[in-house]
Amino acid sequence: MRQVTFNEIEVLPEATRVKGMLLLNKDIQYELEGAVDNMYNFKYERAEKQFKSLRRRYPEHPLPYFLMGLSQWWKIIPTNVQTLKYDDLFFAYMDSTIQKAEALYDADEKNIEAAFFLAASYGFTARLHSERSNWRKATVASKRSLDFMEKAKAGNGLSPEFLFGEALFNYYSVWIHENYPMLRPVLVFFPNGDKRLGLKQLAHVSNSGFYTGTESKTFLMKIYANEEKNMGEALRVSEELAMKYPDNAYFQRYYARLLFVNGHFTKAERISLEMLSKLEQNMPGYEAVSGRYASYILAYINQHKYRDFDKAKEHYKDAIMFAEMTNERESGYFISSYVNLARIAKQQKDQDMAKKYYTIVLKASDKKSDNYEEAKKFFKQNRKG
C-alpha cells in the first residue's frame, strides 16, 4: 500500500468491492480506448456511438452517462467556453450520472466507484456553473464534489482514476480561495492543499489514468504555462497532446502558442497554417478562437522573420476579425494586432493609417499598459500631422 494525501493514511478497498467496478474493468477500457481517443480528437459522433452502446448494456451504471457528458464538455471548450448550445445536454448527462451514482451509493455507502462518479460529475457541473457565473449553483456543486472526493479517496491506492480529484484540490485549493471568494465557504471544512504534491499527483495520473489521463495532462499543460511559468514543461506536455490528437483544436492552438512564445517559429508557422486549413474545412472545434491564434502567429512571423509586410497586415486583420467574431476586443491578440499594424504603417510612412490604428489602441488598451503609452507617444510626436 502507498500513502495518500489529506491525512497521510493508508487505505485500500476491500477486494470484494473492487471486483465489479466498471471503472477498473480492463476489458471495458480496451473496448473504449478508441472511443475515448475519438472524443479527444473531436470525432464526437464516433465516440458517442460507442458510449451509447455501453449505455445499452449498462443502463444503470454512471460511466456511459459521464462519458457522454464529457463529450459535450469538449464541444464547449474550443470556444473558450463561450458557446451555450451544449449546456443543456451537458447538464442533463451530468445529472443522469449523479442519479445513477446516487442509486449505487445509497445501496452501499462504501461504494468508492459511486463516490468517484459523484465527485467527478459534481466537479464538472461546478466548473461550467462557475464559467457561467452561476455562483450559488457552483458553490453547492463544489461542496458536494469535495464531500464525495473525500469518500472516493479510499480508492487512491487502487487506481490513478481516484487520485485525479484530490490532485486538483491539492494544487488549486489556495488558488480557488484567492480567486473565487464566492467558493471560500466550501473550503472551510477541508484540509489545506499542497501544491507540490498536487503537481506530482497530476503527473502520475496523466501517465497512468485511462479516463482521467488526458484531463490531467490538460491541467498540467495549463498549470505549467500559467501558474508555474515553466514554458519548457508546458511545451513538452502540449506537444504530447497535440501529436496524439492532431484534430483537437484546443490542443493544437495551445501547442502553437507555446511553440511561438518559446521561439520555435518554423513549427509554430506549420501548425498555424494547418489550423487555418482545418477552419476553412469547418472541422469540429476549429472556430474563430483558433483562427485568432493562428492568424496572429502567422502575422508576427511574416512581419519579423520574413519581413513580408503585406502578408503580415493580411493576417493581423484576420486576427482582428476573428477576435471581433467572439467579442474578445480586449484580448492581447486583438490589441497587439492593431499595435503591429500601426508599426508597419509607420515603417511604410503611412501616417494616416498609423493614426487610425493607434486611435483604436488608445481606446482598447489599459491606460497603464505599454501599448497605450506607445500610442500616446505617437500622437505627441505627430501633433501637427
Residue range 157-184: mean pLDDT, rounded: 80
Lowest mean pLDDT among 9-18, 28-37, 73-82, 224-233: 9-18
Instruction: Check which CATH number belongs to the domain holding 143 and give it.
Output: 1.25.40
Domains in the chain: how many in total?
Answer: 3
Domain identity same for 173 and 40: yes
210 near 161, Cβ under 8 Å? yes
Lowest mean pLDDT among 171-180, 257-266, 270-279, 347-356: 171-180
Lowest mean pLDDT among 145-149, 170-174, 311-315: 170-174
- Which strand (E) or helix (H) includes residue 349? none
Share of the chain above pLDDT 90, in %: 80
Q: What is the pTM of this model?
A: 0.91
The answer to whether residue 264 is domain-embedded is yes
- Domain that residue 23 falls in: 15-194
Q: What is the pLDDT of residue 3?
A: 36
Residue range 34-51: mean pLDDT, rounded: 98
Between 207 and 139, whose confidence is greater?
207
Indicate whether 188 pLDDT > 80: no
The CA distance from 60 to 104, in Å, is 9
- Which strand (E) or helix (H) includes residue 133? none
Q: What is the pLDDT of residue 190?
A: 65
pLDDT digits (tens, 9 = 90+) for 230-250: 999 999 999 999 999 999 999
pLDDT digits (tens, 9 = 90+) for 209-235: 999 999 999 999 999 999 999 999 999
Indicate whether 333 pLDDT > 70: yes
* Band (191; pLDDT cuts 50, 70, 90): low
The CA distance from 44 to 23, in Å, is 21
Indicate whether 176 pLDDT > 80: no
pLDDT digits (tens, 9 = 90+) for 56-102: 999 999 999 999 999 999 999 999 999 999 999 999 999 999 999 99
Domain identity same for 296 and 340: no
Lowest mean pLDDT among 49-63, 122-136, 280-294: 122-136
Q: What is the pLDDT of residue 155?
A: 86
The answer to whether residue 72 is domain-embedded is yes
The answer to whether residue 202 is domain-embedded is no
The answer to whether residue 28 is domain-embedded is yes
The dihedral through the CA atoms of 81, 249, 287, 312 has a sign that is positive
Q: What is the DSSP string of 259-318?
A: HHHTT-HHHHHHHHHHHHHHHHTT-TT-SHHHHHHHHHHHHHHHHHTS--HHHHHHHHHH
Domain identity same for 132 and 109: yes
Indicate whether 305 pLDDT > 90: yes
What mean pLDDT is reported for the chain?
91
Domain identity same for 29 and 154: yes
The answer to whether residue 223 is domain-embedded is no
Lowest mean pLDDT among 84-98, 125-139, 265-279: 125-139
Lowest mean pLDDT among 182-191, 239-248, 295-304: 182-191
Name the amino acid, one letter, at 222: K
Domain identity same for 25 and 63: yes
Domain identity same for 140 and 283: no
The CA distance from 285 to 79, in Å, is 7
